[in-house]
């Protein structure tokens, strides 16, 4: 009798803790490091790991379409809580995958998602416990349309008297005097994509973050660690040529409900990539309009760096960047990006002696290799990156106007202007379940005027104003080991930062 009772318990345990984790989405997207975490710890990291060890053309504009989403849908989503497709019908709490052989034209899967977090440390000046989130994860397709939605409600307890938003988005504080002595914070978060596909073309409506360029931590133009925004993108492939046109609806003030956000900040961007053999050449251009809306800028053949001259200088801001990536022996990628915010002339850029020379540079390397150890897959690798960002980069002439920023933070490198960073990470994953990494960061941040996105560039005599890069900046070193387990239904992770940026983050999550 005891054996009969134990069998289903053991079977459930095996299913929970040994099945390969899947979280299908129609797009390969940036990582949700602050909120909306699913089971995978670092999906973008292992997407770049796959590119480094692979043979296909390399393109670096995310989010982009995942072409395996439809053909693997019945396999990856057969354990969803609810589902439907036009071939096999509807189901509740999963179904037997062995019977699924035909490819449907319409399919839908629904899961409950959520978890509990503990966050604390000297850097936060707060202890967030418990932080509970729960919601729904929907994905599917119908003919040429595909979609995904992750929507959740959060409820947090804070030790700080005046809590601040951990993720930089909206936070509502429920005071004790209004809630029978109970004080807490609550908010909602979501990300979504709704795409229309036609062979070589995809039109995508979404709320997410763009990540352009071959880097992982320190991309300069658009960076995955920026705060999410509503956006529209047109993605086109012509063999080795990839063209993306993009619009983003940015918020001006750091507080989303501020009256300053009654004014508009509209972002347009184009990215052109040419992938030839193991090399990829990329050009990215951005233009921000303050309190203006010019849909023409969305046209992918309209050069933004030329179109910029047709608008008021005080109401628009732009950038141009070049990047290059090369893969060696299916084991190493070397890459670099040069970002130009503004310059008076090429000579002034080379002299680099005044605040008009606004530029940034990033270089990096990723090495990766997969091992088969007695039937177990071990994925290992390392990433090293260096980034230098000059003063006033991402800024503009007037505060809270056409900065290259969203909710008070840059849309590019999150360290902002007048900073220097070295990142070095070693990582490994066993059987796509157990992940471990150690990240080292050396960081310098200037404190002079020009070190924040809303430090204004003087409009008179600014050509004669000198600049000083990270003057008297003290080096800050942090060491962050992390470990996680990714299962079919549950995940656990712990991340601890020591030395100059002390903090801790522990999470248990589920997807059913």
pLDDT of 3 > 60? The answer is: no
Among 7-21, 50-64, 382-396, 404-418, the range scoring the smallest mean pLDDT is 7-21
Q: What is the mean pLDDT of residues 159-181?
A: 78
Q: What is the mean pLDDT of residues 87-111?
A: 88
Q: What is the mean pLDDT of residues 449-453?
A: 92
Among 211-215, 283-287, 447-451, 453-457, the range scoring the smallest mean pLDDT is 453-457
pLDDT value of residue 15: 40
Smallest CA-to-CA distance from 18 within 406, 428, 366, 376 is with: 376
Q: Which residues contact 339 (CB under 8 A, 6 or more apart)?
A: 220, 221, 319, 320, 321, 359, 360, 361, 362, 393, 412
Quick: pLDDT tens for 177-208: 555 555 668 899 999 999 999 999 999 999 99
Angle at 50 between CA 45 and CA 52, to 5 degrees: 95
pLDDT of 18 > 60? The answer is: no
Q: pTM for this structure?
A: 0.92
Q: Which residues contact 295 (CB under 8 A, 6 or more apart)?
A: none
Q: What is the mean pLDDT of residues 463-486?
A: 91
**Do 227 and 407 contact (CB within 8 A), yes or no?**
yes
Output the CA torsion sign for 67, 70, 71, 76.
positive
355 or 366: whose pLDDT is higher?
366
Task: Categorize the per-residue pLDDT at 19 as very low, low, confident or very high, splitting at 50, 70 and 90.
Answer: very low
Q: What is the mean pLDDT of residues 118-146?
A: 94
CA dihedral of 14, 17, 20, 22, whole degrees rounded to 10: 120
Among 139-153, 163-177, 192-206, 216-230, the range scoring the smallest mean pLDDT is 163-177
pLDDT of 111 > 90? The answer is: yes
pLDDT value of residue 12: 38
Q: What is the mean pLDDT of the chain?
A: 90
260 by DSSP, 3-state: which? Answer: helix
Strands (E), 347-392: 358-373, 376-389
Task: Categorize the per-residue pLDDT at 172 as very low, low, confident or very high, splitting at 50, 70 and 90.
Answer: confident
Q: What is the mean pLDDT of residues 62-69?
A: 94
Q: What is the mean pLDDT of residues 464-470?
A: 82
pLDDT value of residue 464: 66
pLDDT of 16 > 80? The answer is: no
pLDDT value of residue 179: 56
Smallest CA-to-CA distance from 495 within 27, 31, 8 is with: 31
Smallest CA-to-CA distance from 341 within 284, 387, 398, 292 is with: 284
Strands (E), 390-467: 405-406, 409-410, 419-430, 434-445
Quick: pLDDT tens for 236-282: 999 999 999 999 999 999 988 888 989 999 999 999 999 999 999 99
Ramachandran angles phi, psi of 46, nearest 5°: -85, -15
pLDDT value of residue 463: 62
pLDDT of 137 > 60? The answer is: yes
**Do 139 and 147 contact (CB within 8 A), yes or no?**
yes
pLDDT of 8 > 80? The answer is: no
pLDDT of 22 > 60? The answer is: no
pLDDT value of residue 185: 87
Distance from chain centroid for Cα 360: 20
pLDDT value of residue 460: 58
**Do 512 and 21 contact (CB within 8 A), yes or no?**
no
Q: What is the mean pLDDT of residues 131-136?
A: 97
pLDDT value of residue 456: 82
The structure tokens listed for 53 are 């060890």
pLDDT of 21 > 70? The answer is: no
pLDDT value of residue 489: 93
Q: What is the mean pLDDT of residues 70-84?
A: 92
Task: Categorize the per-residue pLDDT at 459 as very low, low, confident or very high, splitting at 50, 70 and 90.
Answer: low
**Do 135 and 153 contact (CB within 8 A), yes or no?**
yes
């Amino acid at each position: 009798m005891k054996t009969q009772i134990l069998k289903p318990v053991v079977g459930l345990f095996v299913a929970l803790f040994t099945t390969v984790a899947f979280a299908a989405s129609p797009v390969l997207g940036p990582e949700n490091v602050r909120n909306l975490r699913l089971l995978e710890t670092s999906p973008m990291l292992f997407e770049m790991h796959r590119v480094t060890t692979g043979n296909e053309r390399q393109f670096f504009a995310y989010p982009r379409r995942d072409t395996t989403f439809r053909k693997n849908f019945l396999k990856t989503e057969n354990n969803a809580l609810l589902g439907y497709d036009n071939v096999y019908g509807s189901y509740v709490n999963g179904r037997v995958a062995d019977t699924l052989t035909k490819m449907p034209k319409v399919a839908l899967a629904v899961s409950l998602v959520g978890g509990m977090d503990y966050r604390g440390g000297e850097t936060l000046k707060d202890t967030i416990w418990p932080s509970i989130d729960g919601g729904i994860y929907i994905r599917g397709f119908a003919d040429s349309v595909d979609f995904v939605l992750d929507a959740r409600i959060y409820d947090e307890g804070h030790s700080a008297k005046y809590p601040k938003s951990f993720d930089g988005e909206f936070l509502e504080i429920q005071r004790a005097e209004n809630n029978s002595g109970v004080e807490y914070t609550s908010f909602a978060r979501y990300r979504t994509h709704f795409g229309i596909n036609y062979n070589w073309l995809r039109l995508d409506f979404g709320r997410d973050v763009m990540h352009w360029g071959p880097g992982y931590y320190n991309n300069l133009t658009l960076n995955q660690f920026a705060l999410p925004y509503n956006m529209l993108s047109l993605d086109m492939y012509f063999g080795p040529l990839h063209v993306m046109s993009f619009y983003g609806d940015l918020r001006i003030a750091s507080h989303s409900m501020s009256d300053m956000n009654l004014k508009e900040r509209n972002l347009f961007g184009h990215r052109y990539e040419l992938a030839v053999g193991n090399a990829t050449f990329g050009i990215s251009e951005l233009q921000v309009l303050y309190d203006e809306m010019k849909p023409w800028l969305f046209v992918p053949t309209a050069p933004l760096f030329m179109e910029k001259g047709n608008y008021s200088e005080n109401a628009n801001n732009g950038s141009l960047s070049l990047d290059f990536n090369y893969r060696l022996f299916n084991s190493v990628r070397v890459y670099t990006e040069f970002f130009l915010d503004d310059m008076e002339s090429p000579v002034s850029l080379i002299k680099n002696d005044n605040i008009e020379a606004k530029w940034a540079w990033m270089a990096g390397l990723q090495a990766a290799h997969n091992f088969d150890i007695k039937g177990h897959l071990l994925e290992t690798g390392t990433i090293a990156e260096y980034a230098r960002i000059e003063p006033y980069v991402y800024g503009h002439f007037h505060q809270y106007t056409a900065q290259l920023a969203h909710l008070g933070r840059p849309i590019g490198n999150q360290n902002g202007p007048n900073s220097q960073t070295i990142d070095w990470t070693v990582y490994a994953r066993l059987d796509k379940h157990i992940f471990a990494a150690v990240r080292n960061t050396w960081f310098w941040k200037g404190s002079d005027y020009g070190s924040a996105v809303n430090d204004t560039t003087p409009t008179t005599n600014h050509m004669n104003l000198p600049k000083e890069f990270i003057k008297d900046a003290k080096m800050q070193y942090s060491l962050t080991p992390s470990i996680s387990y990714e299962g079919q239904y549950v995940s656990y992770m712990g991340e601890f930062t020591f030395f100059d940026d002390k903090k801790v983050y522990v999470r248990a999550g589920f997807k059913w």
